[in-house]
Amino acid sequence: MSRSVARAIPIAVVLAIVALGLVLIAVAHWRRGTGALAAAMLLAGGLRLVLSERVIGVLAVRGKVFDVTFYVVTGVAMLVLALGVP
């Protein structure tokens, strides 16, 4: 597998989950859709934490600590929203 294909896999998986979440929201399943978006953010944070700079690709925006913190805080906030709003 080439390096460019390996770099595309993490973002492709995250974007596929985001697309699923947006489709769920569009068909009036906002709670499940928001949960899927939260899962995508948490997955992005986990991938950013464990994968190297060479493999992570465009999921690396700033420094590793900032990226992981941002992804996890945003994912948890979205999960709280999905589970907490009546």
Specify the pTM. 0.91
Quote the CA–CA distance of 75 and 54 in Å, as a whole number: 24
Note whether 35 and 82 are within 8 A (CB). Answer: yes
Bigger pLDDT: 1 vs 63: 63
Summarised one tens digit per residue, pLDDT across range 3-58 is 778 788 999 999 999 999 999 999 999 999 999 999 999 999 999 999 988 888 88
Helix (H) or strand (E) holding 28: none
- Measure CA 86 to chain center: 24
